[in-house]
Amino acid sequence: MSNYLNDLFSLEGKVAVVIGGTGELCGAMGEGLARAGAEVVLVGRSQEKAQTRMNSIAEQGGKSRFIAADVGSRAALDTLRDEVLSQCGRVDILVNGAGVNSPTPVLDITEEEFARIIDVNLTGVLRGCQSFATYFLENKIAGSIINLGSISGLNPLSRVFTYSASKGAVHNLSRNLAREWAPNQIRVNTLVPGFFPAEQNRKVLTPDRVAQIMGHTPMDRFGEAHELVGATLLLASNQAGGFITGIEMIVDGGAVLGEFVEVALYLAPVEAVAPIGDEVLHVVAVGAVLPARVVGLIRPAGRGEAPVEKNSSKCGRKVGEKKSA
């Protein structure tokens, strides 16, 4: 069994560049990549933070190094790429995890602050993908790109609307790049953490906020950084995850279940007309994934009120059941 798992997940001979690797979450991901055999390049701005992680990697027999870089410049990331190639000889895996956050309310945030968050969280990811994918394409390397998303990129969260907007865009960008580069065997996926305490979000974790988060998380706890490693290895490995691209790998303790839905597989086109707040939602679909409050209003498309044969499984709350406090 151990040989089988090693064949699937071993990253021996691979080089992984982890942008944001001096942070808590990406640092843990980088450490996991190193333990799987990859030579890991931690990228950030703090040599001190990187050294602590590098010491841990070395204690476990892994190999890592630190290179300072700023995602705010394509030229800086091209220089980073060239330096990694000079020192390591190749690149196989890229993790884009640099990010910033802000609790500034929507009516108070300045355009400058909004643009700064978008530049780091979204445009910085684009720059990293452009720089390293150029190398993958020119050298016909089946590279793996893992972009760090967020549960707030799926479900808008109060107090971090700019961060949510930027991460939602990262999810969409990743799917577009996955489609673009799939013929070249370059895989692009989004790793989506749920609620993980980290340096950039601790300032918004008030007691009320924590209680709200726990109310959205069926496992009733925060995630721990090491719990991202398994998903990271799956997405990084061309043996285990070689046919996986364009997905959102959600690691959230079930948080997404509390917000979404009933999944319904319909045997024929269906339509639903439902009030959503002050608006009316009209859906026509086959094999639809619809909000639970809509499912009971479904009928066959263009066939009046006749019943629809369906096979559905509910995720989270029952239809019509209110969320507990």
Kindly list the catalytic residues. Answer: 163
25: number of Cβ within 10 Å: 26
| Residue 14 near residue 93, CB atoms below 8 Å | yes
Strand order in the sheet with 15-19: 63-68, 39-44, 15-19, 93-96, 144-148, 187-193, 248-251
Nearest to 156 by CA among 166, 146, 145, 164: 164
User: Is there a contact between 144 and 238 (Cβ–Cβ < 8 Å)?
Assistant: yes
Name the residue type at position 188.
V
CB 31 within 8 A of CB 225: no
Long-range contacts of 42-48 (CB under 8 A, 24+ apart): 42/18, 42/66, 42/67, 43/17, 43/18, 43/19, 43/67, 43/68, 43/69, 43/80, 44/19, 44/20, 44/68, 44/69, 44/98, 45/70, 46/22
Helices (H) and strands (E) in the chain, counts: 11, 13
Closest listed residue to residue 252, CA positions, set 193, 181, 183: 193
